[in-house]
Structure 1
């Protein structure tokens, strides 16, 4: 049974501090979809705290290798790069066996891999619908279910899922299928928080508004468009990947040991407007 580690220092994990003294990783972290954007920022945040990080990519191996090199420079004692299609059971199983052969357990699973989709329901095909749901929602299910044995073996463990403001409100530019997939992630997060509590495994989600990544450049590629997006948010800002990474780090580590089943909105005040 996974048991949460006591906190001796609010700023850094007690387990991590002790591990550094012994020359061991602060913990073991798997981030899906980590070759760029939010996933990359999450990997680097954990690396800076001395965690061993596993970086998965779908097709951009060169970018994943660059993230691994950067993570090592920041302090990750170990990096593993894995090709992974979260929508494929065979691919997920293969990644699991590779990681299980390298690591004793898994402290943190971050389900970040996903695809974006825009357009009205009249333009959305059944193929579009099935692809987005398969990656964004079924992928979270497959990865979580497959890697659960490694999480259960850890002295403390948690899961953080990447949801979206689109899963909380219909008043965003994303398509119906994208909104449905992210609403599903929120529902899955809450149910798993209850189901996995018996193992001491916490499950939370973050729900960002627009984050400045390649995925949403179509909304930010002119000064006029950028200003329009900024004005949607009371803080008059566009969220950066590092903002999301900081929230993920907090929810993933024992600093938030009393929080589970929570969806942390990272939206620069957009809900308050």
Structure 2
């Protein structure tokens, strides 16, 4: 189950699991056609079952409906990837209370609500894990995103660590990934010229722009039994940015 998986990082994560023969749930809030395209690609890669769900992670009712659908198809859930989120830019003077509450509601409260909703299905699985999408913005203040976005992602990191301790007795691992700038539709406007692209590349010692597939590989590792001894960890995917 990957929230926000019609495109970008979420799509890459779905396709990574599909390529290994996992049944996958593709969720979307408004991009239905893109979600259906993701689902078709997942089927072609070998996913034995693909469920497409309209989902608003900020709505308990929407989440409960999604769980009912999944429980009618699957006996349990092995992996929950909390990927759905929104980005926000601007200084605190330009950030309204409505902006703040909207970003926190989706990016942080959405992770809490989705985890709480699907926890019964995770507990029924022979093994289970949760991977949350944080961000470099939750680890350092030296980023372009707004204070609301940074606070939401720092909150995801704190929530990840607490849930790792709380759910460990149930055998459920909880980790997070914290990417730097990733080339997705949400941020493509910042690299739409060679000059802008070069500027972003130079932020990172590896001189690359991170791709959704790079993040998907990290998510897959943390989600599956290959990382059975890892929980409460935040894996930074930043092309060396913290070493610069």
Shorter-chain TM-score: what band?
Answer: over 0.9
Structure 1 residue ranges, 4+ long, deviating more than 3 angstroms after superposition: none
C-alpha separation between the residues in 1 aligned to 2:162 and 2:128?
Answer: 17
Structure 1 runs not aligned, ≥5 long? 1-29
Report deviation, 1:101: 1.1
Structure 2 partner of 1:224: 195
Q: Deviations over 1:151-210 (max 9, x none)?
A: 000000000000000000000000000000000000000000000001000000000000
1:231-242 equivalences under 5 Å are 231-242=202-213
Structure 1 partner of 2:148: 177
Q: 2:114 is matched with which residue: 143, 156, 180?
A: 143
Q: Deviations over 1:38-61 (max 9, x none)?
A: 000000000000000000000111
C-alpha separation between the residues in 2 aligned to 1:107 and 1:230?
Answer: 36
Structure 2 partner of 1:7: none
Structure 2 partner of 1:132: 103
Structure 2 partner of 1:209: 180
Report deviation, 1:217: 1.4
Instruction: Tell me if 1:107 matches 2:61.
Output: no
C-alpha separation between the residues in 2 aligned to 1:221 and 1:165?
Answer: 22
Structure 2 runs not aligned, ≥5 long? none
Structure 1 partner of 2:28: 57
Q: CA RMSD in A?
A: 0.4
Report deviation, 1:110: 0.1
C-alpha separation between the residues in 1 aligned to 2:50 and 2:188?
Answer: 29
C-alpha separation between the residues in 2 aligned to 1:233 and 1:63?
Answer: 30
Aligned length: 244
Instruction: Tell me if 1:190 matches 2:161.
Output: yes
C-alpha separation between the residues in 2 aligned to 1:268 and 1:140?
Answer: 26
Instruction: Tell me if 1:256 matches 2:227.
Output: yes
Structure 1 partner of 2:6: 35
Normalised TM-score (structure 1): 0.89
Q: 2:47 is matched with which residue: 43, 65, 76?
A: 76
Q: Deviations over 1:69-103 (max 9, x none)?
A: 00000010100000000001111111111111110
C-alpha separation between the residues in 2 aligned to 1:100 and 1:174?
Answer: 37
